[in-house]
Amino acid sequence: QEDKTADTQQKKIDIEYTNKGFQFKTVDNKHLLHIESRLQFRFATPGDQNPLNYDDIYATDNTVFKINRARLKIGGHAFQPYLKYYFEYELAQGNLLDFRMMFNKWKAFNIKVGQWKTYYNRERVISSGKQQMVERSIITRPFTLDRQQGIEFSGRIFEGSLADITYHMSILTGSGRGASENDDNHLMYVGRLQWNFLGREVSMSGSDLDYCLKPEALIALAAATNTSPYTRFSQDGGGQLDGFEPGVTGQYEVNQFMIETAFKYKGFSWQSELHSKEIIDHVNLKTTQLNGSYFQAGYFFSNLIPVVPKSLEVAGRFASYNPNADITKNLEQEYALAFNWFFKGGHRNKLSAEFTYFALQSDTIEGDSGLRFRIQWDISL
Amino acid sequence: QEDKTADTQQKKIDIEYTNKGFQFKTVDNKHLLHIESRLQFRFATPGDQNPLNYDDIYATDNTVFKINRARLKIGGHAFQPYLKYYFEYELAQGNLLDFRMMFNKWKAFNIKVGQWKTYYNRERVISSGKQQMVERSIITRPFTLDRQQGIEFSGRIFEGSLADITYHMSILTGSGRGASENDDNHLMYVGRLQWNFLGREVSMSGSDLDYCLKPEALIALAAATNTSPYTRFSQDGGGQLDGFEPGVTGQYEVNQFMIETAFKYKGFSWQSELHSKEIIDHVNLKTTQLNGSYFQAGYFFSNLIPVVPKSLEVAGRFASYNPNADITKNLEQEYALAFNWFFKGGHRNKLSAEFTYFALQSDTIEGDSGLRFRIQWDISL
Amino acid sequence: QEDKTADTQQKKIDIEYTNKGFQFKTVDNKHLLHIESRLQFRFATPGDQNPLNYDDIYATDNTVFKINRARLKIGGHAFQPYLKYYFEYELAQGNLLDFRMMFNKWKAFNIKVGQWKTYYNRERVISSGKQQMVERSIITRPFTLDRQQGIEFSGRIFEGSLADITYHMSILTGSGRGASENDDNHLMYVGRLQWNFLGREVSMSGSDLDYCLKPEALIALAAATNTSPYTRFSQDGGGQLDGFEPGVTGQYEVNQFMIETAFKYKGFSWQSELHSKEIIDHVNLKTTQLNGSYFQAGYFFSNLIPVVPKSLEVAGRFASYNPNADITKNLEQEYALAFNWFFKGGHRNKLSAEFTYFALQSDTIEGDSGLRFRIQWDISL
């Protein structure tokens, strides 16, 4: 049952505990494996979900205490340091989230194949374990491309210069997580251009934990087009936004674009996104325009006021979502304030408390609002 | 995609094979991971299931040879030796059983959050790999609280004294394994007081493999209350006992209590439980009372008769269950005799043969009985 | 919650990277664990599936690029080097494929229990990662016994002599992957006799990567009988061949046999199988006879023509399948040509390109044909 090449390439291993968990590496660094798990405990009252519409504010919410995420992460490289792989598994729900190989030999041109979070916008790409707030904003649900299968080309060019650019181009099935085949021959195409105009990339994590001594900044543009039976994507795969019927093959053509900014400097961090999305329903011959945005900032006030503990960050976010641009009185807003306490290990062991105020208005109702409190412990093992 | 704190805390690792499988530990013991799997092979004739009622004895049973359990266990601690975690996965059925974090800094006050086997009664809490008989008794199905999500406070006080007490208090969703949210705002509350009146705790495993030179004993009381759509719990989550219809939110209020004893000394082990459970059906306005008990003992006769092999334990169990206390002629009884052969590794590599005699009577039928033979190999890898 | 035998047997570990991935071994070699994952990326046009019948050639095929396999493999031994275990998990679909224990103390008599690929025919037993072509032939679907649960006895006798024989006898549930209990008391029985007439076994992998200096050859006979609701098996468990209705308990009695040859010598490899299968439908009182065969050969032409790269193998296959022997004009044929490029690591990092020509004819239609191109990268991590 085994071939004979078996024992030809045995190599000694170095083991270390790193910020990616336990790591096993051959002495020649040709093979490497790291394994880590992460748990996220969350308490939320009066409920955890973002309100989707007017009725949701008064929905029978239950105070919840739950394990919101339980992840197993295995990554490393094989045969060469630049031939990387990564798996991520959601244990509680039994979902395989990421499985991908990366060819990262050259900084200016990388290839990725498999399934992963589409590199489109910052808020979604940042790991849920490295977020600044307890959860992503209300505009993630309508605008995220979430995880897809396919191929991506990316790279960074003119590094350190005024023209420092990071680009990502993806060709994906556009059928959502777990869908290895497309419904038709219309694939999803995604492009993103990120201008690191200070010559330094902003790291893909919330909060300026590193206390950057030199400012880091970016402006990014991204666009995507896809034709599929879906109007939105989530961890469960493809689905429908409020008001859209279950789709058939090729029913929904979605075109969307985004403008993003991010900045980090001496304990201060900023990020924002402006989204626009057009859904063309080829069955009902109807076009809907959605708009949304958020603005978020955080600061370690210990840098300003010595009496504030060094482990404490305060962060705030404002988000706004218009589900149908034709109806002006149709707006959902989120105002959130968060307090993060970073234990030893930074984002790997963190306690967050968050207050959120929701304001909703629609064309039929004058407007309503609600409050939510959440507390969360996120730990990587 | 990665933050920059990455390579700051690399630490060398010690590796050992322990009785929890392969173990990886940083030299400073701040981080530890152990990984183990376990397989349980079972042959049963004329069938494996316990008879639930009169008809079941004559049900078309099939002789079975099967992998009854296939488990993956990952545990350890992170950042501090007292910040522990544990995952257990049932591979064959794809069920995540345990995922929990424990804060065990002080012996008198521990905190546990996540999902695990509710600390209520001894028979259920003992791992299926450390049981004395092939499987738990017929009273586990009606009385177990099984796995739930929530929080537990526990500790041991006055250790070594006459007032040596181990306590456990749990607040749980009460909706069964895999249910992170409660159906309503009625949670499950569980309390347990265990009096170690000889000043030594009885270890949580069947059989006195350690040949305790000093006697260990306990008397424990436990009680639980829960309101949910369910009348029983198992690995599949919430379900119904015989004769109860599928429930709606808040239909079944369940109050139950238990008295437990356990004792180990020089190769002899004893344990018993007395259970009582009241189910109040708030829809049909009906109350049902259930009673059950078991008594179990085992001994390594090599301690008495030198010719008997040291690896052999003989154990016996009597269990009795009354599904409705209002009907006196309504009784199920189990008489079991087991022979355990412990290979090197104790409970980690064990062969068990078991003979069971079932006797059933109901108000309509005079009574019936049946026999079962099972043989099982349980191995931890 | 833990027994006290805990810390008695801690042992130091050696770690190496081997051709089975990362390997952990106690210094005394009593315990060993290896962990490996494997990804298979596939592009296929105009589609990936083999045509099952005339209509399939014209079916609306979609060009696919997909992760065809994502496997996690954990194996090793426990307590003794001859007490082996092996798990294999299909990550993308969440299927537990293999879970088994092997008692391999004596070469002439081994025992295996659990679930695995029934040792019946070479094409199916060879791992999908060690195949010579991109995928198994068109006759795998109708003739494979696939994975089953049960017990197997096997061994090799008269090793090195003219009477060198490898035998396998299996008693299985015959209900397919994931089915731990049989539908009735008719089990599946499988026997296989393999004559290694040159005194050397042919390794269970495609391609003569080892450049055998002495010829290796085998002739094998195998037979199987099973009564179940199914006419075929696959990774999804039991199912039906074209033209058979969903079955009831004991409906289909299947008797089948096979003749296999294999040969490897100095970079050349050959294998063939002849299959015959009789399906007796005990409900509709109908018997169907199926026949099939394939012939496959490969060669590293660098051994003949120095200008050809050493990493390149060329291989070809012809397969023929008759779904009903009573209808002569009812034939499916496959002609395939493959080019394998072996990176460092042999089968563990391999690129394959394959051209296939299908020819189909039935009693009602004169005949039709189709072409397919596939390219595949298979990498073990």
More confident residue, B297 or B56: B297
More confident residue, C224 or C67: C224
User: What is the per-residue pLDDT across A186-232, written as a single tens digit (0 to 9) for each?
Assistant: 889 999 999 999 999 998 899 999 899 999 999 999 999 999 999 99
**A interface mutation test: which of C17, C29, C62 has the most A CBs within 10 A?**
C17
Task: State the DSSP H helix or E strand holding residue B122, giving kind and residue range, or none if neither.
Answer: helix B122-125
Q: Which residue has the tokens 């093959």?
A: A249
- Give chain B positions within 8 Å (CB) of A209: 3, 5
Nearest CA in chain B to A207: B3
Instruction: Write out residues 137-196 of B within 8 Å (CB-CB) of C.
Output: none
Residue B6, domain member (yes or no): no
Phi, psi dihedrals of residue B274, rounded to the nearest 5°:
-120, 125
DSSP string computed for A323-371: S-TT-SS-EEEEEEEEEEEE-TTGGGEEEEEEEEEEEEE-SSS--EEEE
pLDDT level of residue A5 (50, 70, 90 thresholds): very low
Answer whether C236's CB lies under 8 Å from C196's CB.
Answer: no
pLDDT level of residue A93 (50, 70, 90 thresholds): confident
pLDDT for position B190: 97
Closest listed residue to residue A107, CA positions, set A50, A166, A66, A55: A166
pLDDT for position A52: 63
Per-residue pLDDT for B329 more than 90?
Answer: no
pLDDT for position A2: 40
User: What is the per-residue pLDDT across C100-129, written as a single tens digit (0 to 9) for each?
Assistant: 999 999 999 999 999 999 999 999 999 988
Q: Each residue of C154-192: b (16+ CB within 10 Å) or e?
A: bbbeebeeeebbbbbebebbbbbbbbbebbeebbbebbb
Q: Do B149 and A15 touch (CB under 8 A)?
A: no
Per-residue pLDDT for B6 more than 50?
Answer: no
Q: Which residue has the tokens 């049952």?
A: A1
pLDDT level of residue B264 (50, 70, 90 thresholds): very high
What CATH number does residue B240 fall under? 2.40.160.10
pLDDT, mean over chain A:
88
Nearest to C13 among B16, B19, B349 (CB): B16
pLDDT for position B1: 37
pLDDT above 70 coverage of chain C, percent: 92
pLDDT for position A54: 52
Residue C279, domain member (yes or no): yes
Q: Which residue has the tokens 């219809």?
A: B245
Least trusted range by pLDDT, from A234-238, C311-315, C362-366:
C362-366
Q: Which residue has the tokens 């345990």?
A: B98
User: What is the per-residue pLDDT across A349-358, written as a single tens digit (0 to 9) for each?
Assistant: 999 999 999 9
Least trusted range by pLDDT, from A24-33, B57-66, B77-86, C189-198:
B57-66
In a 13 Å sphere around the CA of A351, the CA atoms on its Cβ side amount to 5
User: What is the per-residue pLDDT across C233-262, written as a single tens digit (0 to 9) for each?
Assistant: 988 889 999 889 998 888 999 999 999 999
pLDDT level of residue A60 (50, 70, 90 thresholds): low
Mapped onto helix, strand or coil, the DSSP state of residue A124 is helix
User: What is the per-residue pLDDT across B89-138, written as a single tens digit (0 to 9) for each?
Assistant: 888 777 889 999 999 999 999 999 999 999 999 999 999 889 999 999 99
- Give chain C positions within 8 Å (CB) of B379: 78-79, 83, 101
Angstroms from C68 CA to nearest CA on chain B: 21
Instruction: Summarize the confidence of residues A102-106 as an average pLDDT.
Output: 93
Sign for the pseudo-dihedral over CA of A9, A12, A18, A23: positive
Q: How many whole angstroms separate alpha carbon A92 and alpha carbon A70?
A: 6
pLDDT for position B64: 78
Written as six digits, the tokens of C145 are: 């016994």
Q: What subunits touch chain B, counting only 3 or more CB pairs under 8 A?
A: A, C
Q: Do A18 and B33 touch (CB under 8 A)?
A: no
Q: Do A66 and B180 touch (CB under 8 A)?
A: yes
Residue B25, domain member (yes or no): yes
Q: How many C-beta atoms surround the C-beta of residue B327 within 10 A? A: 12
- Give chain C positions within 8 Å (CB) of B94: 94, 96
φ/ψ region of C145 (left if φ > 0, alpha if ψ in -120 to 50, else beta) reads: alpha
For residue A142, the enclosing domain spans 6-380
User: What is the per-residue pLDDT across B34-70, written as a single tens digit (0 to 9) for each?
Assistant: 999 999 988 888 888 877 665 555 455 667 778 888 8
Instruction: Summarize the confidence of residues B283-298 as an average pLDDT.
Output: 95
Which are the contacts of B78, defined by CB distance < 8 A and separation ≥ 6? A349, A379, A380, A381, B30, B31, B85
Residue A1, domain member (yes or no): no
ipTM score above 0.90:
no
pLDDT for position A55: 58
Per-residue pLDDT for A3 more than 50?
Answer: no
C85: contact with B, CB 8 A cutoff: yes
Nearest to B344 among C15, C79, C89 (CB): C79
Answer whether B31's CB lies under 8 Å from A349's CB.
Answer: no
Beta pairing partners, C129: none
Nearest CA in chain C to B203: C3
Mapped onto helix, strand or coil, the DSSP state of residue C143 is helix
pLDDT for position C4: 39
Residue A169, domain member (yes or no): yes
B13: contact with C, CB 8 A cutoff: no
Residue C1, domain member (yes or no): no
pLDDT for position B92: 78
User: What is the per-residue pLDDT across A136-195, written as a single tens digit (0 to 9) for each?
Assistant: 999 999 999 999 988 999 999 999 999 999 999 999 988 888 776 666 668 899 999 999
Q: Each residue of A156-195: b (16+ CB within 10 Å) or e?
A: beebeeeebbbbbebebbbbbbbbbebbeebbbebbbebe
Residue B108, domain member (yes or no): yes
Residue B2, domain member (yes or no): no
More confident residue, C175 or A217: A217
Give me the number of domains chain A comprises.
1
pLDDT level of residue A86 (50, 70, 90 thresholds): very high
- Give chain B positions within 8 Å (CB) of A41: 101, 113-114
pLDDT level of residue B8 (50, 70, 90 thresholds): very low
Q: Each residue of B335-352: b (16+ CB within 10 Å) or e?
A: bbebebebeebbbbbbbb
Angle CA C74–C78–C83, to nearest 5: 95
Task: State the DSSP H helix or E strand holding residue A55, giving kind and residue range, or none if neither.
Answer: helix A54-57
More confident residue, A132 or B367: A132
Q: Do A18 and B26 touch (CB under 8 A)?
A: no
Q: Do C9 and B19 touch (CB under 8 A)?
A: yes
